[in-house]
């Protein structure tokens, strides 16, 4: 039986769209226009005989056939990258000391590390997960080579994208109806905490801090248990929690500014080829979000 060929560019387009969450976000990842990415997906679907993506007005959904194909596509692209690195790529070695906040790690660091590790298998990555306010001074002191951070100053690092802050609660408890509003917050130096309290002060909404935790897991535990509402980055909100928007007027929560996410590099690492490669990978992969 003659089976259709799945061209590697079609598979790369599928993976890029899923990782980026949109056709426009995928285009820079594969160095093509949005229309070209759309055409590659259509060719893939024609060869497969089934749709791989359902295109809604605001989001893309991967079909069951797309989910099944996606795992094979990733393996094929990984094998191609491994082959290219072995035959043509630089034999890069060294260590990269990388920092990232908990809430950015899963969503944003995973695609970076996946691509990087396939190309540079001889590089050791030492990962530190802390809040941006802790990571920034560590990069400045040279204790870390690179960090993905929320900017504390407008010109800090290389800007990548904006990450919205959102109010989050557990629907079954409706904690936002309480007065004063019970809050779970990060440590006193946290930029998210500062933004939250400032927004409440402007709105003159009474609140009471009932829970402190420096970790994302701690914030989630407080909200899931019905202890409080919290302000989190949108990328870190799990499906079982509710983003609090369009509430009745008497419970309306104040709007929040977005975080400016940047990659910050230490001066001490400027002549390190392994750090050069990781920095370029982060800019190439995450900078594409700015096109959303």
3-state secondary structure of 178: coil
Q: Is the pLDDT of residue 287 over 90?
A: no
Domain boundary among 65, 87, 109: 87
Rounded distance, CA 246 to CA 12, Å?
38
- Which pLDDT value is given to residue 37? 93
Q: Are residues 68 and 111 in the same domain?
A: no
Q: Are residues 158 and 265 in the same domain?
A: yes
Total tally of structural domains belonging to the chain: 3
Q: Are residues 251 and 189 in the same domain?
A: yes
Which of 90, 104, 29 lies closest to 263 in space, CA to CA?
Answer: 104
The band of 290, judged by pLDDT with boundaries at 50, 70 and 90, is: very low
Residues above pLDDT 70, as percent of the chain: 96
Mean pLDDT value across residues 150-178: 94
Q: Is the pLDDT of residue 151 over 90?
A: yes
Residues above pLDDT 90, as percent of the chain: 67
Q: Are residues 265 and 158 in the same domain?
A: yes
The band of 57, judged by pLDDT with boundaries at 50, 70 and 90, is: low
- Mean pLDDT for the chain overall: 90
6-20, 48-62, 202-216: lowest mean pLDDT where? 48-62
CA 181 centroid distance within chain = 29
Radius of gyration of the chain (CA): 21
Q: Are residues 144 and 270 in the same domain?
A: yes
In a domain, 2, yes or no: no
**Residue partners of 266: CB distance under 8 A and separation at least 6:** 139, 140, 141, 142, 144, 145, 146
Mean pLDDT value across residues 236-263: 92
Domain boundary among 60, 87, 114: 87
- Which pLDDT value is given to residue 249? 81
Q: Are residues 176 and 116 in the same domain?
A: no
pLDDT digits (tens, 9 = 90+) for 75-117: 888 788 778 777 776 678 899 999 999 999 988 998 899 888 8
In a domain, 74, yes or no: yes
CA atoms within 13 A on the CB side of 12: 16
Mean pLDDT value across residues 179-208: 94
Planar angle of CA 266, 267, 273, nearest 5 degrees = 80
Q: Is the pLDDT of residue 291 over 60?
A: no
pTM for the model stands at: 0.74
Q: Which domain holds residue 189?
A: 165-257
Q: Are residues 205 and 227 in the same domain?
A: yes
Q: Is the pLDDT of residue 55 over 50?
A: yes
- Which pLDDT value is given to residue 141? 97
Task: Give 67 or 121, the one with higher predicted confidence.
Answer: 67
Q: Are residues 30 and 147 in the same domain?
A: no
- Which pLDDT value is given to residue 74? 85
Q: Are residues 153 and 266 in the same domain?
A: yes
Q: Are residues 101 and 126 in the same domain?
A: yes
In a domain, 3, yes or no: no
CA atoms within 13 A on the CB side of 131: 20
- Which pLDDT value is given to residue 115? 83
Task: Give 145 or 87, the one with higher predicted confidence.
Answer: 145
Mean pLDDT value across residues 22-43: 88
In a domain, 127, yes or no: yes
- Which pLDDT value is given to residue 89? 66
- Which pLDDT value is given to residue 29? 75
Q: Are residues 205 and 80 in the same domain?
A: no
Mean pLDDT value across residues 118-126: 88
* CATH classification of the domain holding 158: 3.40.190.10
* CATH classification of the domain holding 81: 1.10.10.10
Q: Are residues 157 and 234 in the same domain?
A: no
3-state secondary structure of 124: strand
């Amino acid at each position: 039986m003659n089976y259709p060929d799945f061209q590697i560019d079609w598979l790369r387009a599928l993976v890029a769209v899923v990782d980026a969450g949109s056709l426009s976000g995928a285009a820079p990842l594969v160095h093509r226009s949005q229309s070209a990415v759309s055409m590659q997906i259509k060719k893939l679907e024609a060869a497969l005989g089934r749709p791989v993506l359902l295109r809604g007005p605001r989001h893309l959904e991967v079909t069951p056939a797309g989910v099944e194909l996606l795992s094979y596509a990733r393996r094929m692209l990984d094998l191609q990258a491994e082959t290219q690195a072995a035959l043509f790529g630089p034999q890069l070695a060294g260590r990269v000391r990388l920092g990232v906040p908990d809430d950015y790690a899963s969503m944003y660091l995973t695609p970076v590390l996946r691509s990087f590790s396939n190309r540079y298998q001889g590089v050791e990555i030492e990962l530190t997960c802390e809040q941006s306010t802790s990571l920034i001074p560590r990069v400045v002191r040279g204790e870390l080579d690179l960090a993905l951070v929320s900017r504390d100053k407008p010109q800090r690092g290389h800007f990548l994208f904006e990450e919205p802050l959102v109010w989050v609660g557990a629907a079954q408890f409706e904690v936002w109806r309480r007065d004063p509003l019970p809050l779970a917050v990060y440590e006193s130096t946290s930029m998210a905490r500062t933004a939250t309290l400032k927004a409440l002060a402007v709105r003159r909404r009474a609140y009471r801090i009932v829970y402190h935790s420096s970790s994302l897991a701690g914030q989630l535990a407080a909200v899931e248990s019905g202890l409080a509402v919290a302000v989190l980055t949108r990328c870190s909100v799990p499906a079982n929690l509710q983003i609090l928007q369009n509430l009745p007027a008497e419970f309306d929560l104040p709007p929040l500014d977005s975080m400016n996410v940047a990659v910050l590099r230490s001066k001490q690492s400027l002549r390190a080829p392994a750090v050069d490669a990781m920095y370029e990978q982060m800019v190439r992969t995450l900078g594409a979000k700015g096109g959303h």
